[in-house]
Amino acid sequence: MKNDKRFDIALNHQISLLGKYYDVDREKKEINVKLYYDKASELLNFSVGDIGKEMFNNDVLQKITEITDQFPSEYKANVFIVVTDFEGYTVDVLNEKLKDIIDINNYQIIKNRKYTWLTASLLVLVGFSLLLLLGVVKINDFFGSDLKKNVFEEMINITSWVFIWQAVTILFLTHSELSRLGFKIIRTVKSISFMNNDLKVLSTLSKEELLDNWDADSRIKSSKKILLLVSSTCMMAIGLLRFVHVINDCFTTEMSKIAWDADIADLVLGVCYTFSSLGGFYKYLNKKKFRTFAKIFSILSGIIMSILFTLSIISFDIKVFVPLLVSFLVYLVFLYSIFSPDKNIKKEK
């Protein structure tokens, strides 16, 4: 209760301070912000585009985010851009340029996010591969039992976790300024209006209207892309695990006693999973390379997985059944991702 009271006091003090400089509506939890510009050209970026094709300046959006950063999270901003001289630019043209720059930023954010996720996945795969290598090294005592063994094994272990931690860092802890800018505009701005020197509102764009030109299915596409990338990464990891299992059998078991049927199944499944995942990566990048191979090998993977999964159910060896169950579930998710068509949803206006 004391913490709640302290929070209320801090919030009230913050709102009181903001009320000295902005028009604050406590009931609606809205804050009106006025930005003053002498000329309409100050809103535009003349370093990009031909004459008459100037883009809206991202600095204006950056200024809005810097101001709204001062607001409590539950408050929304109504931004009023006051222009003394419109220099022949109509409000409709400025509105269109404003919406266009928000759309362009959105597409750039999606592109950056796509390559960020891909980089993180590749780093995880490298780290996972090194951990598998470390497992084989330890089981087979490749470095002996002296100090050299401890040093090399520790080097491999540290290197593998550096790759994995780097993937976590770029995925969850590092965000571009453009992504932050887009997030703040969406979360904190309720409307953007243009006003003349007499403070007469000439036009108002709500948040929904500002985002009107965004693809209706952009979030769905983004979710499907991430699902494809995650399932492809898991398929590649499982394929590597199959290869390592076969290699480890060759080192740890006498050749005459190797269960060739199981190892051959692991080897074939590893090849199928690897080529399938490569197709998934290329589909994620919107490239056609390996897509046909991915579909062919994913079908072969399904046949082999179905046989192995059925045999594991019959024998019900828990050590065999659980890994196969996980692999089969990953395979089903990948199968949906690789065969699902990229359809656009037409947005009704």
Annotated domain spans of the chain: 216-343+345-349
pLDDT-derived band at 257 (thresholds 50, 70, 90) equals very low
Q: What pLDDT shows up at residue 258?
A: 46
Task: Pull the structure tokens for residue 221.
Answer: 């596409």
List helix spans (H) across the chain: 2-19, 58-68, 91-140, 147-168, 177-188, 207-210, 218-252, 260-284, 291-315, 318-339
Q: What is the predicted pLDDT for the residue at 3? A: 53
Q: What pLDDT sits at residue 127?
A: 92
Instruction: In whole angstroms, give the CA distance from residue 68 to residue 60.
Output: 13
pTM of the model: 0.75
307: Cα separation from own chain's centroid: 35
**Tokens of residue 242, six digits:** 């199959």
Q: What is the pLDDT of residues 180-227, one digit of tens each?
A: 667 677 788 899 999 999 899 999 998 888 877 665 445 667 778 888
Q: Is 24 left (phi over 0), alpha (psi -120 to 50) or beta?
A: beta
- For residue range 1-48, what is the model confidence (pLDDT) as tens digits? 455 555 566 778 888 899 899 999 999 999 999 999 999 999 998 877
Who wins on pLDDT, 251 or 288? 288
pLDDT given at position 340: 77
